[in-house]
Structure 1
Amino acid sequence: MKRGKTLIALLVGIAALVAFTVAYAATKMPEQDLVIDTKDVFKEKKKAPVTFSHTKHKALKCTDCHHEYKDGKNVWQEGQEVKKCGACHKLEAEGKVVKLEKAFHDQCVNCHKQFKKDKKPTGPTACAKCHPPKPGEKPEKE
Structure 2
Amino acid sequence: MTSKKQLLFAYGLAIHLLLVGIICYAAFPVKAPDEPIRIMYQTNAGKVLFDHHTHTAASGYGASCFDCHHHPGDEDESSLIACGECHQAPSEDGSMPESCLDCHDEEEIEGSEVPARADAFHQQCIECHEQFEKGPQAGSENCSACHVL
TM-score relative to the length of structure 1: 0.52
Q: Is the 8 Å Cα contact of residues 33 and 51 (structure 1) preserved in structure 2?
A: yes
Q: CA deviation at 1:54?
A: 0.6
Q: Helix, strand or coil: the match of 2:80?
A: coil
Q: Is the 8 Å Cα contact of residues 63 and 78 (structure 1) preserved in structure 2?
A: no
Larger radius of gyration: 2
Match of 1:35 among 25, 40, 47: 40
- 1:91-139 per-residue CA deviation (whole Å, 9 max, x = no partner) reads 46962312222101111112101221xxxxx334442111101xxxxxx
Q: Helix, strand or coil: the match of 2:126?
A: helix
Q: Helix, strand or coil: the match of 1:55?
A: helix
Q: Is the 8 Å Cα contact of residues 71 and 80 (structure 2) preserved in structure 1?
A: no
Aligned mates of 1:34, 1:81 — CA distance in 2: 20
Q: Is the 8 Å Cα contact of residues 71 and 79 (structure 2) preserved in structure 1?
A: no
Match of 1:86 among 84, 87, 108: 84
Q: CA deviation at 1:79?
A: 2.4
Aligned mates of 1:86, 1:29 — CA distance in 2: 16
Specify whether residues 52 and 76 from structure 1 end up closer, same or farther in structure 2 by C-alpha distance, changes over 3 A only: farther
Structure 2: gaps spanning 5 or more residues: 1-32, 57-61, 97-111
Match of 1:53 in 2: 51
Question: Which residues in structure 2 correspond to 1:21-32 (within 5 Å)?
Answer: 28-30=34-36, 32=37
Q: Is the 8 Å Cα contact of residues 39 and 49 (structure 2) preserved in structure 1?
A: yes
Match of 1:67 in 2: 70
Match of 2:118 in 1: 101
Specify whether residues 53 and 78 from structure 1 end up closer, same or farther in structure 2 by C-alpha distance, changes over 3 A only: farther
Specify whether residues 86 and 115 from structure 1 end up closer, same or farther in structure 2 by C-alpha distance, changes over 3 A only: same
Q: Is the 8 Å Cα contact of residues 35 and 51 (structure 1) preserved in structure 2?
A: yes
Report the identity percentage. Answer: 33
Across the aligned residues of Structure 1 and Structure 2, the Cα RMSD in angstroms comes to 2.6
Structure 1: gaps spanning 5 or more residues: 1-26, 38-44, 70-74, 117-121, 134-142
TM-score relative to the length of structure 2: 0.50
Q: Is the 8 Å Cα contact of residues 91 and 101 (structure 1) preserved in structure 2?
A: no
Q: CA deviation at 1:78?
A: 4.5
Q: Helix, strand or coil: the match of 2:78?
A: coil
